[in-house]
Each structure stands twice: as C-alpha cells, then as structure tokens.
Amino acid sequence: EHARDARLAAGTIRSLRAIVAGTAVEDGELRDAASFARLHRQHLQFEETMVMPLSRRLLTPAERADLASEMVRRRDVIGG
C-alpha cells in the first residue's frame, strides 16, 4: 500500500501543481488523484481501527514512541 500510495501521491502533486500553473490535466490524472484520496482514507482508517489499538496492547509506551519517531523520520526523508 505504501508504494502504491507514494506513486499516486506523486502524480497527485504533479497534477495539482499543473492546475495551479494553469495547465490542463488529463482525466486519468484526476482519477489517480481521486483514487489516492479514497485509498489513503481506507489505509488510515485501517491503521486507526486495527493497528493502533493492537499497538497499545502489545507495545510499551517507549516502544510506541520509538516507532512514532521512526515513522516521522521516514516521512521527512520521503517528503524531502
């Protein structure tokens, strides 16, 4: 899911930048943006309803903090 979301997010960002610059985008690009939004919402819902409650039961507060720090670090690297 993460690789797919990264690909769709990159395309969505390109499309939004084109729109802001006044350039037309293709219907397929708009469909990709809509897919990204829908799929990312589903992904976040799964994490919030399944992964987070499980992590609260199985991990210590320190382990959760380490995991959160690692996630932030990865997003900073990916986001640039």
- Contact present, 8 and 34 (Cβ < 8 Å): no
pLDDT score at 78:
53
Q: Return the pLDDT at 71.
A: 82
- Virtual torsion, Cα 32, 33, 35, 41, nearest 10 deg: 160
Q: What is the per-residue pLDDT across 2-25, written as a single tens digit (0 to 9) for each?
A: 788 888 888 889 888 999 999 988
Model confidence pLDDT, tens digit, residues 17-60: 999 999 988 888 888 888 889 998 998 899 899 999 999 999 99
Give the percent of the chain with pLDDT over 90.
35
| Cβ–Cβ under 8 Å, residues 64 and 56 | yes
pLDDT confidence of residue 54 = 94
